[in-house]
C-alpha cells in the first residue's frame, strides 16, 4: 500500500500508474469528491494535519508521497518518523516559500529574474525602480497565477501588497522573454537521476495552456536546463519527481523561475509520448525501484482543458476520438468551473510544429468560444 497526500488530478494519475504496477493506494484528502479518492483503494476524508489520518497512513502504507507542494511540511516530517516519505518535508518546504526558493537558487549560482523580498509596507517606501514593471507574488500558497499581480509602479505594488493582506511577497521584475520551458527530473534514493525532455510552455491567465515537446530552443540551452534541474534535485537531496520552470530571455539567458516538488502539468505529455510516464517514475522513486527510461518516443503537444470549455455544454469528444493521434485524459471532476483544470489531451506528430497545428485545430473544433477568446 502506497500513501498519497492530496486527491487532485496528479494524485489520480499517480494512482492509475501505481495500480498498473500492482500497488494499492491510500489517498488522504478532505474533499469527498476528490478525483484520486474516487479510484483509490482507500480514501481518508480528513485534513492533512489530522493526526488520526496520518497515523492510519503510517500504520498501513509502506511509503508516502504528495501531489502538491502546499501540503503541510510538518505532516511529511511526522510521517517520515514512522514510514518512508519521498520527497522529504525539508525539500518540500523550500518550494513552499518563494523567498526561500529564490535564495536557494542564487546560493549555488543559478540565474533568476531580478527581485526583492517584500515583508512589510516599509520595504516599498524606496523600492528598486528597476524592478518595475514587475509582478508581485505572494511568497506562499500561490499557484496557476493565483496570489500574483502585475504592478506598473510602486503605487500599484503598494495596493497589491495591501490586497494580499500584507503577507510576505516577492517583487520580481518582468523580463523580456522568448518563451518559458520546464524540465521534469526524477531522482532515486541512491542518487540516480533521469531527465525528461524539455517542454516549451505557453500560458493563459497564469495557467498552463499548451505544452510543446521537444521545446523549440537551441540544443545547448536544453542541455543547460536539464543540468540545472539535476543540480537542483541533487542540492535538495531530493527523492522523487521534481519539476523546474525556466524563463528563456531575448539575450539567450536561462533563468530559473520556480520548482514544484511533484509531477507537473507540463509533464503530462509523458503518459502518451515517453517510454516511462512521470507518474510511473514517481512510483518507482517512492518504492526504491530502478528509474524508468524517460526517452521521448514521439514529438507531442499537450493542451489543457479548463472548465471554460464546458460552459456551453459538454464538448463533443467524437471530434477528438476521430483523430488517431489524439489522446484524451479527463480527471473525473464533478463541477466544470471557469479556470478549473478538467482534463487534457495530447496530439502526437512527426514534429512539434505539425503536432501543434493539429492540436490547436482540435481545440478550436472542441470548444470554439474558448479558442476564440484566446485570439
Check whether 371 has a pLDDT greater than 60: no
Rounded CA separation 264/242 (Å): 8
Q: Looking at the predicted structure, is the pLDDT value of residue 267 above 50?
A: yes
The yes-or-no verdict on residue 322 having pLDDT over 80 is: yes
Q: What is the pLDDT of residues 218-254, one digit of tens each?
A: 999 999 999 999 999 999 999 999 999 999 999 999 9
Q: Which three cell numbers stand for residue 79?
A: 510521517
70 pLDDT tier (thresholds 50, 70, 90)? confident
Cα 37 from Cα 43, distance rounded (Å): 5
pLDDT surpassing 50 at residue 374: no
- Residue 86's closest CA among 94, 78, 96, 76? 76
Residue 357: predicted pLDDT: 97
Q: What percent of the chain has pLDDT over 90?
A: 91
Structural domains of the chain sorted by starting position, each given as residue range(s) with its CATH number in brackets: 2-85 (3.40.50.20), 114-173 (3.30.1490.20), 177-373 (3.30.470.20)
- pLDDT tens per residue, range 119-174: 999 999 988 999 999 999 999 876 666 789 999 999 999 999 999 999 999 999 99
pLDDT attached to residue 144: 62
Specify whether the backbone of 240 is left (phi greater than 0), alpha (psi in -120 to 50) or beta. left
Average of per-residue pLDDT across 92-113? 94
- Mean pLDDT score, 25-41: 98
Amino acid at each position: 500500500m502506497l500513501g498519497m497526500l492530496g486527491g487532485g488530478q496528479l494524485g489520480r494519475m499517480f494512482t492509475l500508474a501505481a495500480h498498473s504496477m500492482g500497488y494499492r493506494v491510500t489517498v488522504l484528502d478532505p474533499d469527498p469528491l476528490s478525483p484520486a479518492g474516487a479510484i483509490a483503494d482507500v480514501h481518508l476524508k480528513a485534513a492533512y494535519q489530522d493526526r488520526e489520518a496520518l497515523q492510519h497512513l503510517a500504520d498501513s502504507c509502506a511509503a508516502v508521497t504528495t501531489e502538491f507542494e502546499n501540503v503541510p511540511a510538518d505532516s511529511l516530517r511526522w510521517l517520515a518518523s514512522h514510514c518512508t516519505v519521498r520527497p522529504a518535508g525539508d525539500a518540500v518546504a523550500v518550494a513552499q516559500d518563494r523567498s526561500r526558493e529564490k535564495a536557494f537558487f542564487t546560493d549555488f549560482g543559478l540565474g533568476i529574474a531580478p527581485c526583492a523580498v517584500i515583508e512589510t509596507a516599509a520595504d516599498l517606501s524606496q523600492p528598486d525602480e528597476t524592478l518595475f514593471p514587475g509582478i508581485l507574488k505572494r511568497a506562499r500558497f500561490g499557484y496557476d497565477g493565483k496570489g500574483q499581480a502585475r504592478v506598473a509602479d510602486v503605487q500599484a505594488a503598494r495596493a497589491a501588497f495591501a490586497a494580499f493582506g500584507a503577507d510576505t511577497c516577492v517583487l520580481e521584475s518582468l523580463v523580456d522573454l522568448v518563451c518559458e520551458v520546464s524540465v521534469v527530473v526524477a531522482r532515486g534514493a541512491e542518487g540516480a537521476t533521469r531527465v525528461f525532455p524539455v517542454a516549451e510552455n505557453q500560458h493563459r491567465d497564469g495557467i498552463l495552456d499548451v505544452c510543446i515537446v521537444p521545446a523549440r530552443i537551441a540544443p545547448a540551452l536544453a542541455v543547460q536546463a536539464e543540468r540545472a534541474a539535476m543540480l537542483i534535485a541533487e542540492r535538495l537531496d531530493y527523492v522523487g519527481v521534481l519539476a523546474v520552470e525556466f524563463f528563456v530571455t531575448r539575450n539567450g539567458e536561462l533563468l530559473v523561475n520556480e520548482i514544484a516538488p511533484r509531477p507537473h502539468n507540463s509533464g503530462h505529455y509523458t503518459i502518451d509520448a515517453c517510454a516511462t510516464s512521470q507518474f510511473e517514475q514517481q512510483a518507482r522513486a517512492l518504492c526504491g525501484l530502478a528509474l524508468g527510461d524517460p526517452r521521448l518516443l514521439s514529438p507531442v503537444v499537450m493542451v489543457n482543458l479548463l472548465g471554460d470549455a464546458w460552459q456551453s455544454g459538454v464538448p463533443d469528444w467524437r471530434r477528438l476520438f476521430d483523430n488517431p493521434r489524439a489522446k484524451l485524459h479527463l480527471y473525473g471532476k464533478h463541477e466544470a468551473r471557469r479556470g478549473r483544470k478538467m482534463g487534457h489531451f495530447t496530439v502526437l506528430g512527426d514534429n512539434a510544429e505539425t503536432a501543434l497545428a493539429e492540436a490547436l485545430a482540435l481545440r478550436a473544433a472542441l470548444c470554439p468560444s474558448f479558442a476564440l477568446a484566446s485570439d
